[in-house]
């Protein structure tokens, strides 16, 4: 009995009991009642010291109460609050029939107090004297066992047992019900009268069962052993009628003996089961400690392996990048690029394995920072630009106008999910297109995307058949809710939460139906040949699914072999209070363009990118639709953008169109741009387009690239305003030129790599190999504008070094504020705060939160590149025109 109860309590809650588990306790006790047929109920009281009382009562949601009122009557309904005392033993679990004793202090009852004190000091079961049970007011006894937090030796002292006690388990025996039950089982209740006495005090025996008989007559007396040698009990049996024959008396005596043996056996079995529970509990706690230690060791192992692999990889990739900046012939440059690509693939593989480990251990957390979603997607397209050129695949992205420009969330993880999905599409797509679309969930639910209802071939991006993307979110829970149409979209624009639905559509080989059930299983691929042909670990989609779950979203897909696949996921982000000042050049604001494309989906993508630059667009399916728009003198057209496929389709009509364009727009002839894919531009060349004075713009379209092309063609801007998709502003060279930078790293190769990368942009670099030397160098006053600090260094790590530097700066700033030091003595600087960037290969321990804790200004994971440097240094150099110290 007690074994099963103790095992449930400790297995679920350890030593911290939760009141909400009373239902679990009661159900378990009820279902296992057959193991304790003679008990009326069970209850568990926990040891609580006075110092712990307030916190204990707050957790439980009730106050500790006394068993008896001041008038010594049973407080069955309204118990009084227990007065202040050194120790309490409130009941926290009880079988349903006795749940009225929950919150009652067992030490407030005389019989229970003596019982508990004896039980915990002796380590054995202790039985109370008969007393009136609470609420039922019937005579009963309680068998009490102390529960210890650890195994005690046989010769443990009473003091040691008292200190080790954590609770008390009690079995409640209603004596009247017990004897009635046993007599009923013997089918002789009507012919035998039984009296049970507690004769511990032989002079004043206590009647526990049966009516008082003055004329005792002939009766049989037998001793009862309830498991407590300190208390003595007797049972007297007699016949209700005249004395029966002698053989009947023998039978009655035998029945009484059976009852006594049954009771004794039950108590003996209870003691043995409690001992086994204690042993099982100790084994369980030992296994729990081993599992926790193994988890810690796993995390430490991954951190160490990450650092030991990424540190030399940083040196390899850094040196390869420095080698790329030297004069190389074509063959040498090809070798270096190949080695660099292989190194980056290895780093990506390490990151995926570490992400999977962090997900399994529950240590993966998301950041919340403002970011421009459209710029993130432009960067992803740039990442796959070369591969799409090699395969002749058209890449495109479209973001709904209803999606806010600036959101709050983890842009890095969103980029990771999109990169995984588009990377898979690139691998398995040999022709056609890959389209990334973003909408609000409410928009999809209200409008159902009109183009989805139309023919898939005509209205797809490239003209190839595609999967109906609605199938990819058919099982999403959010779409099972009813929304009141388009008004919901309007109301969502005022909400802080933004629910996005993002789809990646391709026209690849698709996923075989038999493999679709294991798409999101870690380290599983469609077939064994996939990893040999296309590479990869098979955990990208598994990680993506976990990341989507952390964003409180859902992910699904629809795929058909030889048609393609569409992956869709939702993510809940927050609306930013202010935009990130997306750059929109004023020279294009208010202009109008004419987009000629016979594919509506592709024309819609072109119009989306033009709108980002402030250019309004008119759409035409072909030249027949475009010529009336050109002839309309009230319609001002500043530029014409024609898809290369549409150009080739109506090539014989272009001379007429261009002639019409020049005649109708004599004063300001619109510029003509040809939008070309890598495949059709290479095949057809640009001779025809150049003949008509048009400019070729290569896809995939991105706002930054499109702006540069328009500025160059229309003579409204310099050609160096954008580089590599970075918004206009200070370049790395202008940011870092002449800056004094301190680089701290214990690895000489990493020092050379970091110093070389910074010197390339004109910085003056000083190198140190320890945290202590960095403290000396950065002691105010000093000359440095910023510091790149490695985190894992021997003797003193980067966190400790940063902490001491901040203490020095706070001290001198305080002295300057109180006039204890002059400006001349502190380098004419009113406030000292040198920007410190964490620089480490340890991607598990060196988290962004840890850097903020030690007052670092940024974080760069190794190996880092020029783009990483730009993103970090621009935050504290861009707004400063003078030297920062």
HEC assignment per residue over 497-551: EEEEEEEEEECCCCCCHHHHHHCCCCCCCCCHHHHHHHCCCCCHHHHHHHHHHHC
Digit-coded pLDDT (tens) for 501-554:
999 999 999 999 888 888 888 766 655 544 444 445 567 888 889 899 999 999
Distance CA(538)–CA(528), nearest Å, equals 11
Backbone conformation region of residue 284, classed left if phi is above 0, alpha if psi is from -120 to 50, else beta: alpha
**Tokens linked to 664:** 């109708």
Residue 279: φ, ψ to 5°: -65, -40
pLDDT value at position 606?
A: 92
**What is the helix, strand, coil percentage profile of the chain, to 5?**
45, 20, 35
Residue 434: φ, ψ to 5°: -135, 120
Residue 33 has pLDDT above 50, yes or no: yes
Residue 740: φ, ψ to 5°: -90, 110
Rounded to 5°, angle at Cα 474 from 468 and 475: 150
By the 10 Å C-beta count (0-12 exposed, 13-18 middle, 19+ buried), 562 is classed as exposed
pLDDT value at position 558?
A: 93
Residue indicated by tokens 């046989």: 154
Residue 561 has pLDDT above 70, yes or no: yes
pTM to 2 decimal places? 0.56
Ranges 34-48, 54-68, 119-133, 211-225, most confident: 54-68
Q: Which of 269-273, 344-348, 582-586, 643-647 is least confident?
A: 582-586
Rounded to 5°, angle at Cα 477 from 475 and 482: 110
Q: Which of 84-93, 473-482, 617-626 is least confident?
A: 473-482
Compute the average pLDDT of residues 808-816: 90
Comparing 631 with 829, which gets the higher pLDDT? 829
Q: Which of 67-76, 242-251, 340-349, 628-637 is least confident?
A: 67-76
Digit-coded pLDDT (tens) for 306-346:
667 777 877 888 888 888 878 888 888 878 887 887 787 77
Digit-coded pLDDT (tens) for 715-772:
765 444 444 334 333 466 777 888 899 999 888 888 888 888 888 888 899 999 899 9
Do you find a cis peptide bond into 821, omega within 30 degrees of 0?
no
- How do beta strands 592-596 and 616-620 pair? parallel
pLDDT value at position 718?
A: 46
CB 751 within 8 A of CB 314: no
Digit-coded pLDDT (tens) for 97-130:
777 888 888 888 777 888 888 888 888 888 877 7
Distance CA(859)–CA(369), nearest Å, equals 14
DSSP per residue over 836-861, as a string?
Answer: EEEEES-TTTS-HHHHHHTT--EEEE
pLDDT value at position 723?
A: 40
Comparing 553 with 171, which gets the higher pLDDT? 553
pLDDT value at position 440?
A: 92
């Amino acid at each position: 009995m007690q074994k099963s109860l103790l095992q449930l309590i400790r297995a679920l809650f350890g030593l911290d009991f939760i009141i909400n588990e009373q239902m679990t306790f009661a159900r378990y006790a009820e279902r296992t009642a057959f193991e304790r047929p003679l008990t009326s109920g069970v209850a568990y009281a926990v040891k609580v010291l006075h110092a712990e009382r307030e916190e204990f009562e707050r957790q439980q949601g009730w106050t500790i109460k006394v068993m008896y009122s001041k008038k010594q009557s049973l407080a069955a309904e309204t118990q009084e609050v227990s007065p202040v005392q050194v120790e309490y033993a409130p009941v926290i679990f009880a079988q349903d029939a006795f749940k009225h004793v929950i919150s009652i202090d067992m030490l407030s009852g005389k019989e229970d107090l003596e019982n508990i004190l004896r039980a915990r000091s002796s380590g054995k079961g202790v039985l109370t004297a008969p007393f009136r049970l609470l609420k039922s007011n019937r005579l009963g006894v309680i068998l009490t066992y102390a529960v210890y937090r650890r195994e005690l030796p046989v010769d443990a002292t009473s003091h040691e047992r008292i200190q080790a006690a954590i609770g008390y388990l009690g079995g409640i025996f209603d004596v009247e019900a017990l004897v009635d039950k046993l007599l009923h089982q013997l089918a002789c209740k009507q012919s035998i009268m039984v009296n049970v006495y507690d004769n511990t005090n032989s002079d004043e025996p206590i009647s526990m069962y049966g009516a008082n008989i003055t004329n005792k007559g002939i009766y049989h007396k037998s001793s009862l052993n309830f498991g407590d040698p300190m208390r003595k009990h007797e049972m007297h049996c007699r016949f209700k009628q005249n004395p029966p024959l002698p053989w009947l008396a023998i039978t009655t005596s035998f029945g009484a003996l059976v009852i006594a043996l049954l009771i004794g056996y039950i108590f003996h079995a209870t003691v043995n089961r409690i001992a086994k529970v204690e042993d099982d509990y100790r084994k369980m706690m030992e296994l729990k400690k081993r599992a926790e230690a193994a988890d810690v060791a796993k995390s430490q192992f991954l951190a160490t392996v990450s650092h030991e692999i990424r540190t030399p990889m940083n040196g390899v990739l850094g040196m390869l990048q420095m080698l790329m900046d030297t004069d190389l012939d074509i063959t040498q440059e090809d070798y270096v690029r190949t080695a660099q690509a292989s190194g980056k693939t290895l780093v990506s593989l390490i990151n995926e394995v570490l992400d999977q480990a962090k997900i399994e251990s529950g240590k993966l957390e998301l950041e919340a920072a403002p970011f421009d979603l459209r710029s993130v997607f432009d960067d992803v397209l740039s990442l796959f630009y070369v591969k799409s050129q090699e395969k002749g695949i058209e890449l495109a992205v479209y973001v709904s106008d209803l999606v806010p420009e600036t959101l709050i969330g983890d842009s890095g993880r969103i980029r990771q999910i999109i990169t995984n999905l588009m990377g898979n599409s690139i691998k398995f797509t040999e022709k056609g297109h890959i389209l990334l679309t973003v909408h609000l969930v409410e928009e999809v639910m209200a409008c159902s995307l009109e183009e989805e209802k139309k023919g898939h071939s005509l209205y797809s991006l490239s003209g190839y058949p595609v999967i109906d993307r609605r199938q990819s979110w058919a099982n999403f829970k959010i779409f099972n809710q009813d929304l009141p149409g388009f008004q919901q979209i309007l109301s969502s624009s005022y909400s802080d939460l933004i629910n996005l639905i993002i789809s990646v559509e391709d026209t690849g080989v698709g996923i075989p139906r038999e493999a679709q059930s294991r798409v999101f299983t870690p380290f599983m691929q469609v077939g064994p040949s996939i990893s040999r042909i296309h590479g990869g670990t098979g955990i990208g989609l598994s990680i993506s699914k976990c990341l989507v779950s952390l964003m409180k979203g859902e992910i699904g897909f629809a795929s058909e072999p030889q048609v393609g696949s569409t992956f869709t996921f939702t993510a809940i982000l927050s609306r930013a209070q202010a935009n990130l000042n997306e750059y929109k050049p004023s020279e294009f604001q208010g202009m109008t363009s004419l987009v000629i494309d016979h594919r509506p989906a592709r024309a819609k993508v072109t119009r989306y990118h033009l709108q980002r630059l402030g250019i309004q667009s008119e759409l035409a399916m072909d030249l027949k639709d475009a010529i009336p728009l050109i002839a309309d003198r009230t319609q001002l057209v500043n530029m014409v953008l024609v898809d290369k496929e549409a150009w080739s389709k109506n090539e014989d009509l272009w001379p007429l169109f261009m002639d019409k364009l020049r005649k109708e727009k004599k004063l300001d002839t619109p510029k003509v741009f040809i939008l070309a894919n890598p495949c059709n531009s290479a095949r057809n060349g640009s001779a025809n387009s150049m003949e008509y004075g048009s400019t070729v713009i290569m896809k995939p379209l991105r706002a930054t690239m499109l702006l540069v092309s328009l500025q160059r063609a229309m003579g409204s801007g310099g050609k160096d305003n954008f580089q590599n998709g970075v918004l206009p502003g200070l370049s790395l060279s202008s940011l870092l030129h002449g800056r004094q930078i301190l680089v701290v790293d214990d690895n000489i190769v990493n020092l050379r790599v970091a110093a070389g990368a910074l010197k390339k942009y004109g910085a003056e670099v000083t190198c140190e190999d320890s945290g202590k030397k960095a403290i000396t160098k950065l002691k105010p006053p000093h000359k440095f504008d910023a510091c790149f600090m490695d985190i894992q260094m021997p003797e003193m790590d980067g966190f400790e070094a940063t902490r001491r530097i901040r203490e020095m700066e706070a001290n001198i700033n305080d002295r300057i504020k109180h006039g204890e030091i002059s400006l001349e003595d502190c380098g004419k600087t009113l406030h000292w705060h040198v920007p410190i960037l964490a620089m480490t290969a340890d991607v598990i321990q060196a988290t962004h939160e840890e850097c903020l804790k030690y007052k670092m200004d940024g974080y760069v994971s190794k190996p880092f590149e020029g783009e990483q440097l730009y993103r970090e240094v621009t935050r504290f150099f861009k707004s400063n025109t003078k030297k920062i110290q």
